[in-house]
Amino acid sequence: MDVCGHLTRSSGGSALISWDAEPKESEFPYDQFGTLEEYFYFLQNRQFSAVLNDGAILQMSYKMKHKHVVWHRLSYHPCPLAFTFKELEGIPLVDYIENLTATSLRSRLRNRSAIRFDYDPSEAKPNHPASHMTLNESCCRIAVKSSMSPRSFVAFIFSNFYPSLWASVPALHALPDGLAKATITADEIKAYHLHRLA
């Protein structure tokens, strides 16, 4: 597992808590949600909170104002390529991927969607809930009852995608949680939505 340190950057009364690597916006693969290109950009530029042993990337970033969450980005990007731990002995994952041939890339490709939880009330509008989950396509925004705490995000990811690890590591269950104010609208409740994530 590779963990990226997090920093707090303050500006104009707000504080952004995010991984410490500065993004290279000019190189970001826009409109590439869930692609190998997006995954590799995050990996190569250390745009992550952690890379799990299976190559999955976790991103956790929060913006606070007056001790309240006003924005977050919480993402789970499964590794789009199959590999064994033995193949990675002594080789960073980013180097391993760069050295794969086109044929090897094709044979190792796994079609699995990234999942992202966004919270940004300032951008809320019809078909763009203040709090939503995106998967498969960037235009897919499924309303979520409220913003998510780090514990709720970790619980959702590990209990659904790593259930045996979730069951065997009590420390994951012990993370602190906080109740967030609901931001879901009456119209969003009438549609498919996520009500509880803890």
Over the stretch 36-56, which tens digit does the pLDDT of each residue have? 899 999 999 999 999 999 999
Q: Residue 9: inside a domain, yes or no? A: yes
Where residue 30 falls (left for φ over 0; alpha for ψ -120 to 50; beta otherwise) is beta
Residue 114: pLDDT band (50, 70, 90) is very high
Q: Residue 161: inside a domain, yes or no? A: no
Q: Do β-strands 142-144 and 193-194 pair in parallel, antiparallel, or remain unpaired?
A: parallel
Q: Residue 45: inside a domain, yes or no? A: yes
Q: Which residues pair with 3 in a beta bridge?
A: 50
Q: Residue 167: inside a domain, yes or no? A: no
Q: Which residues pair with 61 in a beta bridge?
A: 73
Q: Residue 131: inside a domain, yes or no? A: yes
pLDDT greater than 80 at residue 26: no
pLDDT greater than 70 at residue 27: yes
Q: Please list, in sequence order, all residues whose beta carbon lies within 8 angstroms of the beta carbon of residue 107, skipping any fewer than 6 positions away.
A: none
- Domain span at residue 76 reads 2-144
Q: Residue 162: inside a domain, yes or no? A: no
Q: Please list, in sequence order, all residues whose beta carbon lies within 8 angstroms of the beta carbon of residue 5, skipping any fewer than 6 positions away.
A: 19, 20
Is 48 in contact with 42 (CB distance < 8 Å)? yes
The two three-digit tokens of residue 164, written as one number: 């045996």
Domain count, the chain: 1
Q: Residue 104: inside a domain, yes or no? A: yes
Q: Residue 170: inside a domain, yes or no? A: no
pLDDT of residue 33: 87
pLDDT of residue 78: 96
pLDDT greater than 90 at residue 34: no
The Cα–Cα gap between 132 and 173 comes to 23
